[in-house]
């Protein structure tokens, strides 16, 4: 009884998060008593019993706490208007020491030359402490590394080396959770979602037990990973059905994802110009306008997202307009082939170098979410038109992209075969581990 009272008293001084770990440490102490308590009675003669109260040495439960030493790989793409503070927040870094050092250390000054589109990579502990950080800008690399209680900062010319890596993981709760558990950056999760988005709805279709294998590239500087590159091949098993994707470059700086047989995984148009967002207003012939306070048609889809979120071209096209236009505010109009146009309204701004006549590729960032024009808050107004007639982009039948041409098929088959073999090896290894 005294033992239990002391145990409970000490637990009261331990944080709720650590009480489970402490209880697990103390369980063996009580299980010994239980083991002897259920032993069979082998005594024949009567034995005299006496109550003996003795203080027992309890383990120091405050020292028996299991610390979470997990390290998460975070990558963030710099957006217009970003500061070092906003980037650290998105990287989920909560580290006053790191903030102060990055603000005051002369070697970290290049970090303040934030270029939209560039990537910052960080390893972050579970408690938000910065473990390491890499920022590559042009040929210069800013490196931050924790050594004990100190953070060391250096800037040097980059010496990049490309490596091809392979990993597999199982879905427990979310795609991002699975990539975190496997030590993969969020960039890999985003790419996987983009690659298989025409076959899998990653908001509704994921199930516990789904799994994926991925072959991807990482760029290193003197042995340290600097940034994640492209997913080269992937397999995703969703609800027992396997989907495979292989990246194939059919021209310089041009390529796409195909099935192992050469079928194009890309639709000619993406369903959404934002990676992750929510629909705040749908396509309608009669909607109450939040600014004008009148009923009027809403010939597009509104996607709610924070200001500065990247907006992507939904298809290859040519910039027909990039400027200000009435209630649209800052708007981009893209023409695709001869009869299709897409409109992107209320933008806070455009990517550098965007102008009328410029060619853009599907998935290329063209602007940033804002609240210009007749907008009650930050969001993207997206329109899809065929021969200048508004269509509901969520319901219109999208034309499919062409498959691999007969001329390129032999070369594609060679590339596909190599990657499919790698994915098969990952699949076998993963199943063996699970069994």
Q: Exposed, middle or buried, 175 (CB in 10 Å: 0-12/13-18/19+)?
A: buried
Specify the pLDDT at position 47.
42
Per the domain annotation, does 401 fall within a domain?
A: no
pLDDT tens for residues 120-165? 999 999 999 999 999 988 788 999 999 988 999 998 898 899 999 9
- Tally the C-alpha atoms within 13 A of residue 353's C-alpha that lie toward its C-beta: 7
Please calculate the CA angle 361-363-368 and round it to the nearest 5 degrees: 110
Specify the pLDDT at position 275.
74
Instruction: Tell me: do 186 and 89 sit in the same domain.
Output: no
Instruction: Tell me: do 200 and 305 sit in the same domain.
Output: no
Sheet order of strands, 241-251 included: 160-170, 211-221, 224-238, 241-251, 254-258
Average pLDDT, the chain: 81
- Looking at 100, 135, 158, the residue that finishes a domain is 158
Instruction: Tell me: do 61 and 76 sit in the same domain.
Output: no
Specify the pLDDT at position 254.
80
What is the signed CA dihedral for 126, 128, 131, 133, rounded to 10 degrees?
A: 130
Judge contact between 213 and 238, C-beta under 8 A: no
Residue 109's contacts (CB-CB under 8 Å, 6 or more residues apart) are none
Q: Which residues of 182-201 are buried (b: 16+ CB within 10 A; e: fewer)?
A: bebbbbbbbbbbbbbbbebe
The CATH number of whichever domain residue 82 belongs to comes to: 3.10.450.350
Per the domain annotation, does 273 fall within a domain?
A: no
Specify the pLDDT at position 65.
47
CA distances from 128 to 16, 70, 89, 301, 383 (A): 19, 11, 10, 37, 40
Residue 164's contacts (CB-CB under 8 Å, 6 or more residues apart) are 215, 216, 217, 232
Q: Exposed, middle or buried, 178 (CB in 10 Å: 0-12/13-18/19+)?
A: buried
Residue 165's contacts (CB-CB under 8 Å, 6 or more residues apart) are 215, 216, 217, 218
Judge contact between 370 and 302, C-beta under 8 A: no
Percent of the chain with pLDDT over 70: 79
Per the domain annotation, does 127 fall within a domain?
A: yes
Instruction: Tell me: do 305 and 215 sit in the same domain.
Output: no
Bridge partners (DSSP) of residue 147 are: 150
Instruction: Tell me: do 385 and 291 sit in the same domain.
Output: yes
Residue 319's contacts (CB-CB under 8 Å, 6 or more residues apart) are 332, 333, 334, 354, 355, 356, 357, 358, 359, 360, 366
- Looking at 158, 189, 206, the residue that finishes a domain is 158
Judge contact between 136 and 96, C-beta under 8 A: no
Compute how many other C-beta atoms are within 10 angstroms of the C-beta atom of residue 350.
Answer: 21
Instruction: Tell me: do 307 and 327 sit in the same domain.
Output: yes
CA distances from 296 to 120, 346, 381, 391 (A): 44, 18, 15, 16
Specify the pLDDT at position 3.
45
Specify the pLDDT at position 161.
93
Instruction: Tell me: do 290 and 374 sit in the same domain.
Output: yes
Question: What is the phi/psi pair of residue 408, to 5°?
Answer: -95, -5
Here the tokens at position 249 are 């470059």
Here the tokens at position 420 are 């499919």
pLDDT tens for residues 298-317? 889 999 889 999 999 999 99
Per the domain annotation, does 243 fall within a domain?
A: yes
Per the domain annotation, does 27 fall within a domain?
A: yes
Instruction: Enter the pTM of the model.
Output: 0.59
Strands 254-258 and 241-251: what pairing? antiparallel
Residue 25 has pLDDT above 60, yes or no: no
Name the pLDDT band for 16 (thresholds 50, 70, 90).
very low
Instruction: Tell me: do 56 and 146 sit in the same domain.
Output: no
Q: How many domains does the chain have?
A: 4
Specify the pLDDT at position 286.
53
Instruction: Tell me: do 368 and 418 sit in the same domain.
Output: no
Question: What is the phi/psi pair of residue 382, to 5°?
Answer: -120, 130
Residue 6 has pLDDT above 60, yes or no: no
C-alpha–C-alpha distance, residues 134 and 235, integer Å: 29
Instruction: Tell me: do 233 and 299 sit in the same domain.
Output: no
Residue 59 has pLDDT above 90, yes or no: no
Kindly state the average pLDDT of the residues 382-401.
86
Specify the pLDDT at position 284.
67
CA distances from 279 to 21, 291, 372 (A): 42, 18, 18
Residue 66 has pLDDT above 60, yes or no: no
Specify the pLDDT at position 34.
35
Kindly state the average pLDDT of the residues 184-211.
86
C-alpha–C-alpha distance, residues 96 and 59, integer Å: 34
Specify the pLDDT at position 269.
86
Specify the pLDDT at position 111.
82
Q: Which residues of 270-279 are buried (b: 16+ CB within 10 A; e: fewer)?
A: bebbbeebee
Residue 30 has pLDDT above 70, yes or no: no
Kindly state the average pLDDT of the residues 357-364.
92
Residue 292 has pLDDT above 70, yes or no: no
Q: Which domain holds residue 85?
A: 71-158
More confident: 414 or 140: 414
Q: Count of residues for the chain? A: 435
pLDDT tens for residues 228-279? 999 999 999 999 999 999 999 988 778 899 999 999 988 788 878 987 667 8
C-alpha–C-alpha distance, residues 226 and 136, integer Å: 7
C-alpha–C-alpha distance, residues 200 and 187, integer Å: 18
Specify the pLDDT at position 53.
52
Name the pLDDT band for 433 (thresholds 50, 70, 90).
very low
Instruction: Tell me: do 32 and 87 sit in the same domain.
Output: no
pLDDT tens for residues 367-378? 999 999 988 889
pLDDT tens for residues 336-358? 988 999 999 999 999 999 999 99
Name the pLDDT band for 220 (thresholds 50, 70, 90).
very high
Specify the pLDDT at position 290.
58
Specify the pLDDT at position 430.
56
Per the domain annotation, does 82 fall within a domain?
A: yes
Instruction: Tell me: do 257 and 307 sit in the same domain.
Output: no
Specify the pLDDT at position 54.
54
Per the domain annotation, does 396 fall within a domain?
A: no
Per the domain annotation, does 399 fall within a domain?
A: no
Judge contact between 228 and 121, C-beta under 8 A: yes
Percent of the chain with pLDDT over 90: 43
């Amino acid at each position: 009884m005294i033992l239990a009272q002391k145990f409970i008293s000490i637990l009261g001084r331990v944080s709720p998060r650590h009480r489970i770990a402490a209880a697990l440490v103390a369980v063996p102490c009580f299980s010994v008593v239980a083991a002897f308590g259920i032993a069979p009675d082998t005594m024949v003669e009567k034995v005299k019993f006496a109550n003996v109260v003795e203080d027992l040495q309890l383990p120091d439960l405050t020292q028996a706490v299991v610390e979470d030493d997990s390290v998460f790989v975070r990558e963030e793409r710099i957006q217009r208007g970003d500061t070092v503070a906003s980037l650290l927040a998105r990287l989920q870094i909560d580290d006053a020491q790191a903030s102060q050092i990055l603000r005051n250390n002369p070697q970290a000054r290049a970090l303040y030359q934030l270029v939209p589109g560039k990537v910052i990579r960080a390893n972050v502990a579970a408690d938000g402490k910065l473990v390491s950080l890499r920022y590559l800008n042009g040929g210069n690399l800013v490196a931050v590394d924790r050594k004990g209680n100190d953070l060391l900062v250096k800037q040097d010319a980059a010496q990049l080396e490309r490596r091809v890596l392979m990993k597999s993981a199982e879905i427990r709760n979310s795609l991002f959770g699975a990539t975190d558990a496997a030590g993969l950056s969020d960039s890999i999760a985003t790419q996987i979602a983009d690659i298989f988005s025409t076959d899998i709805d990653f908001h509704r279709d994921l199930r516990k037990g789904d799994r994926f294998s991925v072959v991807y590239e990482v760029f290193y500087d003197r042995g340290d990973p600097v940034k994640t590159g492209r997913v080269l091949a992937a397999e995703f098993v969703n609800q027992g059905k396997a989907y495979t994707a292989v990246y194939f470059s059919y021209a310089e700086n041009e390529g796409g994802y195909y099935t192992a047989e050469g079928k194009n995984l890309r639709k000619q148009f993406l369903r959404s110009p934002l990676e992750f967002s929510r629909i705040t207003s749908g396509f309608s012939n009669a909607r109450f306008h939040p600014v004008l306070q009148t009923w009027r048609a809403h010939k597009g889809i509104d996607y709610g997202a924070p200001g500065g979120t990247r907006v992507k071209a939904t298809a290859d096209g040519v910039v027909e307009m990039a400027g200000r236009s009435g209630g649209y505010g800052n708007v981009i109009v893209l023409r695709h082939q001869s009869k299709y146009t897409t409109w992107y309204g209320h933008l806070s701004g455009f990517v550098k170098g965007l102008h009328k006549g410029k060619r853009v590729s599907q998935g290329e960032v063209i602007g940033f979410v804002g609240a210009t024009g007749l907008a009650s808050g930050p969001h993207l107004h997206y329109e899809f038109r065929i021969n200048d007639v508004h269509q509901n982009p969520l319901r219109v039948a999208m034309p499919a992209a062409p498959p691999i041409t007969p001329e390129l098929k032999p070369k594609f088959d060679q590339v596909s075969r190599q990657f499919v073999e790698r994915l098969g090896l990952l699949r076998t290894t993963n199943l063996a581990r699970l069994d």
